[in-house]
Amino acid sequence: MKMYIDAEQARKEDREREKKEKEKRKQEERERELREEEARVAREKREEKRRIKKEEEKRKEADFRKGKAPVYSSGSDDDKNPSNSDVEALSEQAEGLVISEKRKCSAERVVGDSPPMVTPAKHPTKRGQLDPKRLVLSCRHPALKRSPTTRKTPVRSLMKKKKILATVGQMGKLRYVTDNLRELGDLNVDELKQICREEDVQFEEKKKMDTIFVIMEKRTHVAYGVEGNDEETTEVTIKEGMPYPRVGGHVRFKLQDLEGVNPLICNANNVPKLKVSDHESLLAREIATGFSMWINSDKDGITVQRREVIRCMSKTVRIGEKYLDTKDVEALKEKQEGLVLTPLDRNLGETLVMCPKLYFDAMMDMFVLSTGYTIVNDSETTIQQKMKDDARASGLQQFVRWDSKGCIGSM
């Protein structure tokens, strides 16, 4: 029991001692902060006093230079005490000293027969005015001699020049443009600049793709001449005098706007109905063929009677009302032979008919000659991987959905 009491008493003493030490440290910390604050205030006061003193000295010096400063009488005890406090006290006392009598300006006394001495008036120095004669003489310089310029040899290109043949026809022109784009796409900017100098093409610090298109247009113009004056024969010839609407001299119209055309033909989703003389027999054969493909069907097969098929069929409907006849489609195809028929804006419900020249020019302007068109020789897998990496780097992965079974160009 005594040991427990002694241990408890020792713990209490330790706690009291720690508490006292903690309070002592706090007290010392407060005293230290107080001393630092007093030292800071004293330092600021000294700095403020020095600043005021310097300003006063500057003001006095300025007044003295202007002749407005009063004359102070200096005592004989100024230099006796070298301490800073005494000097400051004397300086404060000296600030209040002012001479009681000011100097008075009186007329100059005449000495003998000497004329009065006249002091010339003071004028400020004129700045910014120069003598033009001196300026002209100072601007003359001896003629400089031009150093003889050395002619630099043209830099030889490291690229291998490949001759691209220009063939006749629109397909030949397309092949010529594509080959030029492939060749120019593999060159760097310095090589493109050299080609511009050799082929007299204006190069105004454009981008690489713009420079490629300028060179390609110049080569195409040299090889095929101005558009509209080509005397080459095209692969697809269009008959003169076609009775169809034209835009700019070329055939272009919607199939729906043409008179005498079945409306069912205008929609590309409609499939012509096969013309069969005996629909009942055809349906009976199709039903029998379908049942014969079953695994548990009889070896002899199933026989479908004609009268059973007739009861399954609806009433006879004329082909021109709800169904599309293949004869109408073939007749329209013969009339529009040589023209291009394509869905308008990928809308299968509207068909656009146009001249092959318009279609070719539109494809060239939209894809081949477009500034955003780039010829890529990589595989489709490599291109898709680059697209995925770009989407991941841009933080668009959550907005992109990849079709593993799709391919480039598919809908």
Q: What does the DSSP 8-state code read for residue 257?
A: G
Task: Return the C-alpha torsion angle 259, 261, 263, 265, nearest 10.
Answer: -150
**Per-residue pLDDT tens digits for 129-156:** 555 555 554 455 555 555 555 555 554 4
What are the start-end ranges of the E strands in 186-295? 246-247, 250-254
Residue 44 has pLDDT above 60, yes or no: yes
**Per-residue pLDDT tens digits for 302-353:** 788 888 888 877 765 555 556 777 888 888 888 888 898 888 877 778 888 8
Within 10 angstroms of residue 219's Cβ, the number of other Cβ atoms is 19
Q: How far apart are CA 24 and CA 10, in angstroms?
A: 21
Q: How far apart are CA 307 and CA 281, in angstroms?
A: 10
DSSP-assigned beta bridge partners for residue 342: 352
H helical segments located in 199-278: 208-224
Q: Which residue has the tokens 């003998």?
A: 112
**Per-residue pLDDT tens digits for 73-103:** 544 444 444 456 677 778 877 777 766 555 5
Q: Are 339 and 354 in contact (CB under 8 A)?
A: yes
Residue 400 has pLDDT above 90, yes or no: no
Measure CA of the first residue to CA of the last residue in the chain; give whole Å: 95
Amino acid in position 392? R
Dihedral angle sign, alpha carbons of residues 237, 239, 245, 246: positive
**Per-residue pLDDT tens digits for 341-399:** 888 877 778 888 888 888 888 888 777 777 677 777 788 889 888 888 988 898 888 88
For 343, list phi and psi in degrees, rounded to 5: -60, 140
Of the pLDDT bands very low, low, confident and very high (cuts 50, 70, 90), residue 232 is: very low
